[in-house]
Structure 1
Amino acid sequence: MKSAYGDHVTVATDGNVAVVTLNRPPHNFVSVDFMRDLADALDDIDGHGAARAVVLQSEGKTFCGGADFSSDTDRVASGMDGVQALYAQAIRLFSAETPIVAAVQGSAVGAGLGLALTADFRVAAPEARFVANFTKLAFHPGFGLTYTLPRLIGPQRANLMFLTGRRIKAEQALEWGLCDEVVPAEELRAAALRLAAEIAENAPLATVSTRKTLRAGLAEAVKAQTVIEHREQALLRVTEDFKEGVRSVAERRPGNWVGR
């Protein structure tokens, strides 16, 4: 198993736990190559056999800021072909076999929230925020979130997150089941590693088998849902409101919508 995947993903081992670090600070914005490198790392972890659990952590102030729609060069920001390619990698993440504990130190926004939900568990710092801000961008949710978020916290709470774009604080996320533990920031990685090590203490074949049953059909459902999400996003991507949404979010102000 390699220790580096592309420019921004590294893997280290701690006993029977693989520690995967995303290193594209400060915001760890998603890109097709970035998510492909992460999927490759998880594939290698599954194939290597030594790791029985994974910690997914990131450098910088933000766990993952989602897509950077202000970028002029990123494939995801530049068009829907890039979005479709991103979703292909997302499906690979949901197909990983080894249990994953995400350490969320800052915001998980948009596709970054989708990334956090690829994990089985989320340990969060008090400063963490969970945000589905798509409608503030005049966009449709993606990364399979219209399937995974209601499945995790229930349809009504998912409705609230999607339709308001509200930032959900760590303590509320804990109450909702959106995260599983809240610890001080300086203890975050140790707490995530501790949970992963607790999983890794168990019989590996039984753990993987049980996880497969619990997540049966998940990757396939995400794949089907991203087809719908992509279609709706393509319709909204060409609107005047989407251009205004990108501007307004960057400028941290409400959008001036025209409905077209």
Structure 2
Amino acid sequence: MTVETRRDGHVAIITFANPPHNFADLALIEGIGVAFAAADADPGVRAIVLRSEGRVFCAGADLVNANPVAAPQPEGARNPFYIAAAALFAVQTPVVAAIQGSAVGAGLGLALVADFRVASAQARFVANFVQIGFHPGFGISAVLERIVGRQRALLMALTARRIRGEEAERWGLVDQLVEAEALDSVALALAQEIAAGAPLAVRSTRATMRGDLHALVLAQTDHELAEQAWLQRTADFAEGVRAVAERRPGRFIGE
């Protein structure tokens, strides 16, 4: 797992990699959080581009081999993975995500952290939780509807439908759809456009328009985790995990 930052003028380009599928584990989310905090603390950074290496933007959490929300927590304690996830929404610097492939589950949640999403036609956005007998996490159940509206968020959540780049752009889930080879340059150009504004005014305006997201996601992940906790004890969840491992549809029984 790596999270690396380089600068292009006033833009910090943060690149993460967790081969082969860029699974979202605690180390990765905390690493991105450290990079965000460093960007916030640097007065020379006025915008961030968040991107990943490989064909997949982020395949979500590895629920089969390393489920980050499986371990029981003490009464009243928050899950470390969701603490780290919520902290990403506290970033004060505008974020543009460059999405080259699938953003699935927690990977969708990571894409929703950004203020803007630039994507290639190969991008796919999937809230696949019900396909594995699970409840959405990463604050998706609160943040997604802010971007695409309640009905479309509900459609994604209850069907686990794969939303392709073209449809995602029509919905407003993607702000710019570009050819794959232009993805990084277009994302950087948008970040540079943001960075050209007066930095104090940009941060102030952004805080007014989305400054409540950290508190919202922190509270929502408490609820999401409580729902995930009991669902993880069901036969349907066990079947869903087996189905993922065996690459087949789940055979659910409602127990």
1:152, CA displacement in angstroms?
A: 0.8
Distance of aligned partners of 1:134 and 1:80 in 2 relative to their CA distance in 1, 3 Å threshold: farther
Counterpart of 1:188 in structure 2 is 183
2:48 is aligned to 54
1:25 aligns with 2:19: yes
| Aligned residue in 2 for 1:142 | 137
**Secondary structure at the residue paired with 1:117?**
helix
Contact 2:61-2:67 within 8 A present in 1 as well: no
Question: For 1:76, what is the secondary structure of its paired residue?
Answer: coil
- List per-residue Cα deviations over 1:105-135 (Å, max 9, x = no partner): 0000000000000000000010000000000
Aligned equivalents of 1:44 and 1:220: distance in 2? 21
In the alignment, is residue 130 of structure 1 matched against residue 125 of structure 2? yes
The answer to whether structure 1 residue 246 and structure 2 residue 241 are counterparts is yes
The separation in 2 between residues aligned to 1:120 and 1:126, in whole angstroms, is 19
Q: 1:157: how far off? A: 0.3
Q: 1:75/1:129 Cα in 2 relative to 1: closer, same or farther (>3 Å)?
A: closer
- What letter is aligned with 1:214? M
Structure 2 residue aligned with 1:65:
59
Cα distance in 2, alignment partners of residues 168 and 251 from structure 1: 23
Q: Structure 1 residues 83 and 9 mapped into 2: Cα distance closer, same or farther (>3 Å)?
A: farther
- Structure 2 match to 1:4: none
Decide which moves more: 153-162 or 74-83: 74-83
How far residue 254 of structure 1 moved from its aligned partner, in angstroms, is 1.7
- 1:78: how far off? 4.5
1:12 match: 6
Cα offset, 1:248, TM superposition: 1.2
CA deviation map 1:216-252 (0-9, x unaligned)? 3111111111111000000101111111101212333
2: CA distance, partners of 1:213 / 1:85: 28
Q: Report what 2:35 is aligned to.
A: 41
1:116 aligned partner, one-letter code: A
Partner of 1:259: 254
How far apart in 1 are the matches of 2:27 and 2:96?
22
Distance 2:17 2:154 in 1: 32
Structure 1 residue 172 corresponds to structure 2 residue 167: yes
Given that 1:122 and 1:181 are in contact with CA atoms closer than 8 Å, whether structure 2 keeps it comes out as yes
Counterpart of 1:79 in structure 2 is 71
- Counterpart CA distance in 2 for 1:68 and 1:240 is 19
Tell me, what secondary structure is at the counterpart of 1:9? strand
**How far did residue 77 of structure 1 move?**
6.2
Match of 1:221 among 211, 216, 219: 216
User: What amino acid is the match of 1:50?
Assistant: G
Which residues of structure 1 form unaligned runs of 5+? 1-6
Q: Secondary structure at the match of 1:124?
A: strand
Cα 1:242–1:68, aligned 2, differ >3 Å: closer, same or farther?
A: same
Equivalent position to 1:235, from 230, 236, 244:
230
CA–CA distance in 1 between the matches of 2:72 and 2:56? 25
Letter in 2 for 1:125: S
Matched length: 252
Distance (whole Å) between structure 1 residues aligned to residue 60 and residue 70 of structure 2 = 14
Matched, 1:207 2:202: yes
| Paired residues of 1:70 and 1:77 also in contact (CA < 8 A) | no
In structure 2, runs of 5+ residues without a counterpart are none
Separation (CA, whole Å) in 2 of partners of 1:216 and 1:150: 17
Question: How do residues 155-166 of structure 1 correspond to structure 2 at under 5 angstroms?
Answer: 155-166=150-161
TM-score using structure 2 length = 0.96
Is the 2:117–2:173 contact (alpha carbons within 8 Å) kept by the matching residues of 1?
Answer: yes
Percent identity for Structure 1 against Structure 2 = 52
SS in 2 for 1:26: coil
Is the 8 Å Cα contact of residues 121 and 166 (structure 2) preserved in structure 1?
A: yes
